A and B are shown apart, each in its own frame.
Chain A
Amino acid sequence: MEALYATTVGMLTACSIYLILRGRSFPIVIGITMLSYAVNLFLFSTGRLVMNELPIIGNQESYTDPLPQALVLTAIVIGFAMTAYSIILAVRVRGELGTDEVNEPNSSDAEGQR
């Protein structure tokens, strides 16, 4: 299970990095969002993988580690704020410059130069 989990996180990271390396703003925002999923899963797993041991005090014998969960919960919300900010920044840039390209117009990677 550990290997499967780690592979999944690795794949999510790889795909999101690929998206972040694109030259247009929309795929980059999608990439950032997916990267935040991968990071959340990574952080969450520092409490190790545990099944059926909810961090709710009750009649159980043992509980999973609640600390990473608390950290990841706020991370999800902040991640949303970041996604929202970046996507609206992208819309604003499109509105101002008329393009969704992320490279500077005169750089070697820009549309006209390639």
Chain B
Amino acid sequence: MSLAIIVLIPFIAAVLPLLARQRSRLMITTLTAAATATSLALLLALAPAVLDGEIPQFFAAWLPSLGLDFSLRLDGLSLLFATLILGIGLLIIIYAHYYLSENDDSGRFFACMLLFMGSMLGIVTSDNLILLWMFWELTSISSFLLIGYWFHQSNARRGARMALAITGAGGLALLAGILLIGNIAGSYQLEAIFAAADEIRAHSLYLPALLLVLLGAFTKSAQFPFQFWLPHAMAAPTPVSAYLHSATMVKAGIFLMARLYPVLGGTSEWFTIVTLTGLATMLFGAYFALFKTDLKGLLAFSTISHLGLITMLLGLGTAGALLAALFHILNHATFKAGLFMIAGIIDHETGSRDLRKLSGLRKYLPFTMVLAVITSASMAGVPLFNGFLSKEMLFVESTEQHLFGGLSWLVPVLATIGAMLSVAYSIRFVHGVFFDKVATNLPKQPHEPPLMMRAPVILLSVLCVAVGIAPMVFAADILTAAMAVVSPYSFEVDIAIWHGFNLPLLMSALALIGGVAIYANRDELLSFNRQFDHHDAKDIFARIVKAVTNTSDNLMNRIETGSLQRYIAAMLGITIIFVLPELYDIAQLDGGREHMPVNVVSIVGAIIVVLAAIGTAAFHHQRLTSLMMLSVVGLMVSLIFIHFSAPDLAMTQLVVEVVSIILMILALFFMPQRIPKASSGGRVARDILLAGFVGGIVGSLNYAILTRPTNSISEFFLANSVPGGGGTNVVNVILVDFRGFDTLGEISVLAIAAAGIHKLLNNLRPFMPSSDVDGRPWHRVKHPLLVQTVSQAILPLALMVSVYIFLRGHNLPGGGFIAGLITAAAMILQYMANGVDWVKHRFDYNYQTLASVGVMIALFTGLGSWFFGKNFLTSWFAHVHWPIVGEFEIATAILFDLGVYLTVIGATLMILANFGQMTTRHRPRQEKH
């Protein structure tokens, strides 16, 4: 449990700095530091048990079906990293308090910092690979926020984007790799994956999985050729650089390789890829670090170089190499965090980080100089400092490997060269800044920073020396615990300062002498380097991004032509391509079911439908004619329904037809009366061909279905309609009872569509012709007396019919939908015959309210069944005997149907009455808010 708390504290505490934004900076820093310290204290409380070989775990199921659980573990490796993350994190927080200026939003800074810290803790303690990946992506995002902290600077934004793009892409590759591994092992839990290690290594998908995981690790840890994002990330505030590039972000990739070494490591593929990448990165970083004029740039390339060194050690993969890798992780974190902080102090005090301007600072910053000498000596691998020990271990391992056959001697030689360069740039860092003649043209007059700003560096420097002198006292326990997790081989942690005169010592000596020599001759090297044309990785990255954007733009311009006709044609074409093979697979279109004999009525009906449909299409230029033809089709469809035993459908179709044709005639009033130009012949031919093709496919499919035996679940509905739903009209019972939830959805959609139309009509300025297309004015009698009289007489009749249809709906054809449409149609008739003013005067009712009340009634009827301990929308019915009336049935379903009824009326009238008002003085104008 306390393990989960350790990881969650930074996430929860991340809101504190934001809440305390208005308070003093000290308050914000104190809160952040307190949260980190609490987490660290809890971690250290668990440490003794971990060092004794226990593995505290935490498990909470999250999405077990996906193999994702919130499961954590704290083994030796996790402890090593978690201590670094929280320990150095705490130092960075203290340092940052003094580093940030008054203008910087320290609340945002510390919030991002805590988010990042929590994500890193998550990575190192995850017991589940998917969870690990999730935290991995969280570090990408939070580091993006941190690198881009000064977002008013364009280089900060660019650096942040680049880091996110590279590590994010790597993260996706990592996810793919994790999924492959999880698939092979059958679980994403580390325990299961460790157990399946042999199986994974022997699997045919091992190589792809390895490559994908390494892609993730290499991008995160800035390994060659993905190293270029790291120097640009230096646009971040220095505390961020110190944190991200010493102990955390870039170490995540290293951690991943160490974590999965027992599973993926030890093969020749692992060895070749990882060792060579590490070696190349080490040399590349060390070489370029030599030429950087920016202090942080120098440290950035040095970081790349040291990450390469660790990667190379992990690649070599012997017990000694793994130990050296873990040890160097620890050492690098201590001296590099210190060096970055020193660079920050120099920048803070002098206003410059440029090595060409800085020199002779020993006069102003003597104490800082001592610290710089210690940490740089550690970086260079000078004896008695911790960097020396791990570097010496690298030399030992490089001489003992025989993995490249006859060329194996190259590895120690290149390692020595790398070490020489490392010595050279370390000297440059100290000598260039603190020695030589005293600088005069600095932006600020430097003096020693406050003690608390130096305190973190002092602590780190002390650690460098302490570990360097007594490694077995300070580092042996934690390294033993970490090795137990990483190394599949037997090992012994025995780090000594003195091994006697041997080859590695000679290499160390060579490195020191060579480094001094290189630095002494740096001017020649500089001019040597200048003859090469260096491509800035940033430009290459920018070019790639630009090329990708341009390609996408071109593609989009081709696809998105802005022509709806083309889109629809393409969509239909693609549909045909997908459907055709399926149809081809049907051996016989006729399924063999017994055919129904054709009668004359059907033939006549079919001919009318087809002719009307063709007419609708053919006369589409004469819009009113086309619309009349469409109404014929609609009426015939209604007859088809009644012909094939569907009275409910026929009635619904009939009323809907009436309402929608009225609506379209109304719309026609606002549409252009004449169409200036017809489509070209080629276009018409293409469309006829396409339409014919689609129609043919639909017809064939329909025929294939009709001639095949049916296998329906409707037996259930037929059997349970009366006993379960209390109604004999099965269609209605299905609507209001069995599938009532669907119907609730349907009426909600109807109400939403009506509300949308209401909004569309708001503020609309339609074209209103004052005469017809031939210039004849509209008839002056708008509401003929005959129509008025008849319509007024029809209204009560229609209302009665609708009530009747509504009430009988449960047992006979009818129901809420149909009754609602009938009522609506009768009301529309009043609007048409008598005008909006007449209706408004007599029946001024808000249709929006009606529709929403309808939906609410249906909803609450459904909710009502909860009070009786039943599921949502369970219906209840009873037969009661009333005097005079006789046997009568009451069902809650009728209440639901009432909701449907009201919604349909409300929505339909909302659409039609509002639209009809457009021509009158009641048309909706600017809505009041």
Contact = CB atoms under 8 A, between A and B. Distances in A.
Contacts of B569: 21
B623 A26 contact: yes
B703 A2 contact: yes
A55 B700 contact: no
B352 interface: no
B566 A95 contact: no
Contacts of B692: 14
A102 B561 CA distance: 12
A55 B671 contact: no
Contacts, number: 320
A34 B616 contact: yes
A46 B713 CA distance: 12
B681 to A, nearest CB: 12
Contacts of A14: 691-692, 694-696
Given A50-B644, A56-B728, A104-B563, 16 more contacts: A2-B595, A5-B706, A6-B702, A14-B694, A15-B617, A17-B690, A19-B617, A21-B690, A34-B630, A37-B634, A42-B701, A47-B712, A67-B713, A77-B817, A85-B760, A94-B672
Contacts of B644: 44, 49-51, 64
A112 to B, nearest CB: 11
B433 to A, nearest CB: 61
Given A1-B598, A34-B616, A95 B702 contact: no
27 contacts: A6-B702, A7-B699, A15-B613, A15-B616, A17-B687, A22-B620, A25-B671, A29-B664, A37-B634, A42-B698, A42-B702, A47-B714, A48-B706, A54-B647, A67-B734, A69-B648, A72-B646, A74-B746, A77-B652, A78-B749, A84-B663, A87-B667, A88-B911, A92-B764, A95-B670, A108-B561, A114-B677
Interface string B903-918: 0100110010001000
A5 B731 contact: no
Contact of A63 (B713, B718, B743, B756): B718
B643 interface: yes
Contact of A9 (B648, B702, B721, B734): B702
Interface string B643-673: 1111111001100100110011001101110
Q: Identify whether the interface residues of B are mostly helix, strand, loop, or mixed.
A: helix
A103 B355 CA distance: 62
Given A66-B731, A109-B563, A73 B633 contact: no
Given A17-B691, A66-B717, A74 B568 contact: no
B616 A13 contact: no
B606 interface: yes
Interface in A11-70: 11-27, 29-30, 33-34, 37-38, 40-42, 44-58, 63-67, 69-70
B595 A57 contact: no
B671 A107 contact: no
Interface residues of A, number: 92
A46 B364 CA distance: 91
B812 interface: yes
B652 A30 contact: no
B735 interface: yes
Contacts of A79: 656
Contacts of A56: 728-730, 811-813
Nearest to B629: A30
Contact of A7 (B606, B653, B687, B761): B606
A41 to B, nearest CB: 6
Interface in B596-615: 596-599, 602-603, 606, 609-610, 613-614
Nearest to B621: A27
Nearest to B620: A27
A98 B672 CA distance: 9
A60 B756 CA distance: 45
A63 B907 CA distance: 33
Nearest to B686: A21
A92 B767 CA distance: 10
Interface of B: 561-566, 568-569, 572, 593, 595-599, 602-603, 606, 609-610, 613-614, 616-617, 620, 623, 626-627, 630, 633-634, 637, 640-641, 643-649, 652-653, 656, 659-660, 663-664, 667-668, 670-672, 675-677, 679-680, 687-688, 690-692, 694-696, 698-703, 705-707, 710, 712-714, 717-718, 721-722, 728-731, 734-735, 739, 742-743, 746, 749-750, 753-754, 756-757, 760-761, 764-767, 811-813, 817, 821, 904, 907-908, 911, 915
A7 B746 CA distance: 30
A66 B714 contact: yes
B722 A57 contact: yes
A92 B647 CA distance: 36
Contact of A53 (B623, B645, B679, B743): B645
Given A55-B645, A56-B812, A73-B652, A18 B731 contact: no
Given A56-B730, A65-B714, A107-B563, A13 B698 contact: yes
A91 to B, nearest CB: 5
Contacts of B813: 54, 56
Q: Identify whether the interface residues of A are mostly helix, strand, loop, or mixed.
A: helix
B702 A18 contact: no
Contacts of B663: 83-84, 87
A94 B660 contact: no
A62 B713 CA distance: 15
Contact of B691 (A18, A51, A57): A18
B613 A41 contact: no
Given A56-B812, A57-B728, A41 B637 contact: yes
Given A13-B699, A21-B568, A87-B664, A78 B718 contact: no
B752 to A, nearest CB: 8
Contact of B626 (A30, A69, A88): A30
B690 A70 contact: no
B729 A74 contact: no
A10 B746 contact: no
A36 B310 CA distance: 67
B378 to A, nearest CB: 65
Contacts of A1: 595-599, 602
A103 B560 CA distance: 11
Given A15-B617, A92-B760, A100 B677 contact: no
Contacts of A33: 630, 634, 660, 664
Most buried by A among B598, B644, B659, B692: B644
Given A14-B696, A27-B626, A30-B626, A58 B705 contact: no
Nearest to A113: B563
Contact of A106 (B562, B599, B695, B811): B562
Most buried by A among B670, B721, B821: B670
B742 A74 contact: yes
Most buried by A among B640, B702, B710, B735: B702
Given A15-B617, A67-B717, A57 B637 contact: no
A109 B617 contact: no
Nearest to B676: A111
A24 B717 CA distance: 45
A63 B686 CA distance: 45
A15 B890 CA distance: 47
